[in-house]
Amino acid sequence: MRLSPLRTTIAALLASAVLLAAGWLWLRPAGPLLRAAEFGLDALSPNADGVRDVTRITYRLARPARVSISFLDESGRRFRFRSDNPRPSGEHQLLFSGIVAGFTLSDEEFEGQILARVLPDGDYTWIIEAAGGNEREELTGALTVAGVDSALPEMRGFSVSPPLFTPNRDGISDRVWVNMYLTKSAHVSVHLLDDAGNQRPIAERAGDIAPNEPGLHTFEYEGGVDLGVSPPPDGVYQVVALAEDAVGQKTRVEGQLTMEHGGVPRADIVNAQVEFSDTTVVQGERLEFTLTVENYGAAPIRTSGPAPGFGYAQDENANSFGWYEESGAWRVGIDCDTCIRDYPWRWALGTRDELTRIGEHWYLMPGQRATVSGDVTITQIPARNPLYFWAGLIHEDVEVSNINNRVDPHFITIVPKD
């Protein structure tokens, strides 16, 4: 059988690999596990001024090992830079900028966690330690640290409010504000963290203090609902803030946020259909309407105003009875060609029996429909007659979407009484 050139090459490579492996086992370097270790500089000044801020560490392993690098100060306190990192044999290099695993000094108070911190000024013994099988070896040297910028970027007074958040544009707890006071210039980021470890960034709100500068910072979150994006699922989340200064020190604070009734609110007038009582109305009599609304979204929609069945006189409007517009509330409205303001006559999306109370407010729940009727007593002959009357579904102070505006106009004649 003839082998193709490719197969020949593969066979040759395999043979070489086997030989190399055998040779490695046979010639496996004896002697110390950790063959050399050195720091490029013997003095560091970690203060981000570009001078002696960073040094290179080089070491060589004879065999694969777990490597730890730490520093002992003059009192014998140990600071850890690397702990039991598995490394293959050969030469290794890494950079050290004075930053070690977070620690606190005695009688020091700090809000939050210190994840990474610069070594304080002082004289240290560095220790590079290699362990593998039942071997363990270390090499040591001296390092002086001076001129450190040791101030930590602390995020004081971290708060998440309100702690119960309902991202659904109903005007109640639709936004969360995360506040903190940053003590030192540092890059700050805030995110939402779920149980599965997923992160969602929270943007900073523009304020007097530029991002990353010391001072009060506010981050604002609306769950994406304002952009028509479904918010994260209801549940309990961590709100995490991370700060990192120019030296590389890192701190973390966290709070908690509960999300409920989240979702993009969606509702419409079913079949875009409105029934009016007649095409003519005698002056002094009532024009009645009936329509059905449906909440076809995932969030409860809030409503307010007089219950279905309420009757207005032509020159009255919802304000006449104290049913002022409420940001985020939905109402059915009736409008006409000669109406002075938009949808002067408004009704709630159902009776209290049909609606669900959440907190202090009333809601039409996801998947629910309600029939809304009402009337307007026509007291004057409008300047334009006949004229159109139509319905709308108003999300107050948010929008009247195209599909919910000027729904099913009817041409109606007002007839004088005599």
Phi-psi region of 119 (alpha: psi -120 to 50; beta: other; left: phi over 0): beta
Report 171-190 residues binding Ca ion (CB under 5 A).
172-174
Question: Across the strands, what pairs with 111?
Answer: none
Report 44-83 residues binding Ca ion (CB under 5 A).
45, 47, 49, 51-53
Q: Minimum Å distance from CB 146 to Ca ion?
A: 9
Q: Minimum Å distance from CB 197 to Ca ion?
A: 27
End-to-end CA distance of the chain: 114
Q: Minimum Å distance from CB 56 to Ca ion?
A: 15
Tokens of 148: 């450190």
Residue 166 sits in the site that holds Ca ion (CB under 5 A): yes
Instruction: Tell me how far apart the alpha carbons of residues 279 and 275 are, in angstroms, rounded to a whole number.
Output: 10
Instruction: Tell me how far apart the alpha carbons of residues 118 and 116 are, in angstroms, rounded to a whole number.
Output: 7
Nearer to Ca ion, 166 or 212 (CB): 166
Nearer to Ca ion, 168 or 404 (CB): 168
Binding segment for Ca ion among 5-13, 34-42, 165-173, 268-276 (CB under 5 A)?
165-173
Nearer to Ca ion, 170 or 244 (CB): 170
Q: Minimum Å distance from CB 312 to Ca ion?
A: 29
Nearer to Ca ion, 38 or 149 (CB): 149
DSSP 43-109: EE--SSSSSS--EEEEEEESS-EEEEEEEE-TT--EEEEEEEEEE-SEEEEEEE-SEEE----TT--
Report 27-46 residues binding Ca ion (CB under 5 A).
45
Instruction: Tell me how far apart the alpha carbons of residues 192 and 220 are, in angstroms, rounded to a whole number.
Output: 12
Nearer to Ca ion, 80 or 175 (CB): 175
Asked if 117 contacts 80 with a C-beta cutoff of 8 angstroms, the reply is no
List for the chain the helix, strand, coil content (%; round to 5). Answer: 10, 45, 45
H helix intervals, 261-375: none
* H helix or E strand, kind and range, residue 38: strand 34-39
Q: Minimum Å distance from CB 351 to Ca ion?
A: 22
Q: Minimum Å distance from CB 19 to Ca ion?
A: 50
With CB under 5 A as the rule, give the number of residues binding Ca ion. 12
Binding segment for Ca ion among 167-175, 315-323, 355-363, 368-376 (CB under 5 A)?
167-175
Tokens of 61: 């392993």
Coil, strand or helix at 131: strand
The dihedral through the CA atoms of 398, 404, 409, 415 has a sign that is negative
Instruction: Tell me how far apart the alpha carbons of residues 105 and 150 are, in angstroms, rounded to a whole number.
Output: 12
Tokens of 213: 């500068």
Q: Minimum Å distance from CB 168 to Ca ion?
A: 5
Residue 326 sits in the site that holds Ca ion (CB under 5 A): no
Nearer to Ca ion, 168 or 249 (CB): 168
Asked if 40 contacts 54 with a C-beta cutoff of 8 angstroms, the reply is no
- Short-list 355, 312, 296, 305, CA closest to 332: 305
Of positions 61, 62, 98, 170, contacts Ca ion by CB under 5 A: 170
The dihedral through the CA atoms of 212, 218, 223, 226 has a sign that is negative
Q: Minimum Å distance from CB 182 to Ca ion?
A: 23
Instruction: Tell me how far apart the alpha carbons of residues 113 and 240 are, in angstroms, rounded to a whole number.
Output: 11
Residue 168 sits in the site that holds Ca ion (CB under 5 A): yes
Q: Minimum Å distance from CB 53 to Ca ion?
A: 4
Nearer to Ca ion, 184 or 410 (CB): 184
Q: Minimum Å distance from CB 87 to Ca ion?
A: 28
Q: Minimum Å distance from CB 393 to Ca ion?
A: 18
Nearer to Ca ion, 53 or 154 (CB): 53
Q: What does the binding site for Ca ion look like in residue numbers (CB under 5 A)? A: 45, 47, 49, 51-53, 166, 168, 170, 172-174
